[in-house]
Amino acid sequence: MARTYRVVLRNRDHACLEVGEEETILAGAEARGFRLPVGCRYGGCITCAAKLIDGKVVQPKGTALKRRQVKAGYILLCVARPRQDCTLEVGVESHDALFVNPFAVRGE
């Protein structure tokens, strides 16, 4: 039997989801009736980005997140599967550090 983990959506009234280890966090959230940002559903477009505050997930190699975005704590909920209990900040309000104007910043 597959393990399940507790995934807390900190900025959704600390809602607690039970997400199976083979299930994406997005699927777990949608099954509970949450409507979170989503686009491609294959890890290619970062619309569903969320901040991992605590815990651990696995994602396929080569998602659309840049190194800078991964360092800032972002994961892609459409492909991320839990490996520990997790706490997340979700939705566009978690995207404060996701986007930069490339002409306004020095290269990294």
SS3 state at 56: coil
Residue 33 sits in the site that holds another protein (CB under 8 A) = no
Interface with another protein (CB under 8 A), residue total 29
Among 11, 47, 59, 87, binds another protein (CB under 8 A): 47
**Which residue lies nearer to another protein by CB, 42 or 54?**
42
Q: How many distinct helices (H) and strands (E) make up the chain?
A: 2, 7
Q: How far is the CB of 54 from another protein (least distance, A)?
A: 23
Of the candidates 25, 6, 20, the one whose C-alpha atom is nearest the C-alpha of residue 90 is 25
Nearest-angstrom CA–CA distance, 39 and 41: 6
Q: Does residue 60 interact with another protein by CB under 8 A? A: no
